[in-house]
Amino acid sequence: MNSYIKDTTWYKNLTKGFIDTSPPKPSAPEKKMPVLQDVLIRLNKMIDIGFITTIYFIMGAIVANIVTGYQNRFDSKENDKKTLITNIFNLVILIWINGVLIYFARNLIEFIPYPFDNFFGFQHKKVKELGAATAFTFVLLYYQPNLNNLMKYLKNRFDNTFKGRSFIEGIKLLNKPALKPTIMDDEKEKEKEKEKEKEKEKNTNTNTNTNTNTNTNTISNNKNYPMKRNISNHY
């Protein structure tokens, strides 16, 4: 019914000038790629993905070490003297710098030539992983200890600021230094390990004391009953 209306003269005269009523041109039949060429292109693509990932990984490690070298070592005591807003602002600046570095790395890697480009009809620039920069982003963020420690610090600082207080009281403390020292997760784990070691030492001491008591009791029993001791030795 729809095609019949479009073929009428009044519809063509009505839509003449602003709607193309001519039938679509038949599309040219797509040429099928030979199976061997398709396999070779896919193998070349897998090699290219490994090539791109390796470059991104190495570049991310180098840039992360350079950025960390220009930063001071993270100290929770020094950050406790600063306000929570200042620490959040420092985190935002670090993330912004990393975002710019990711942008530069993504544009820089496009200029690195791929040795097997245009082999078997494969095009290096059409690979999606070339502009993804996933490996570079992961390595860059993972190998920055200051960034990771600052994120852990802010999580614990927020807990100390808002835990046990109303939301309004916590908002008022955002522009003030820390009320109590912010304990990092690593320090908490160390304290737990120390407590476990103390418990182990107590258990070993109690076991040694019980063993010594049992030995003294057996010796005293042997002294009190010499015939029993001789009979046991005889058998």
pLDDT tier for residue 229 given thresholds of 50, 70 and 90: very low
Task: Check the CA dihedral 198-199-205-209 and report its sign.
Answer: positive
Token pair 């200890």 is found at 145
pTM of the model: 0.60
Quote the CA–CA distance of 233 and 227 in Å, as a whole number.
Answer: 10
pLDDT tier for residue 228 given thresholds of 50, 70 and 90: very low
Tell me: the pLDDT tens digits for 144-168? 888 888 888 888 888 888 888 788 8
What mean pLDDT comes out for the span 115-140?
81
Instruction: Judge whether residue 132 has pLDDT over 60.
Output: yes
* Residue of 171, 166, 226, 181 whose CA lies nearest to 81: 181
Instruction: Judge whether residue 59 has pLDDT over 80.
Output: yes
User: What is 150-209 written as a DSSP string?
Assistant: HHHHHHHHHHHHHTTS-HHHHHHGGGS--SS----HHHHHHHHHHHHHHHHHHHHHHHHH
Instruction: Judge whether residue 29 has pLDDT over 70.
Output: no
Q: Write down the domain spans for the chain.
A: 36-188
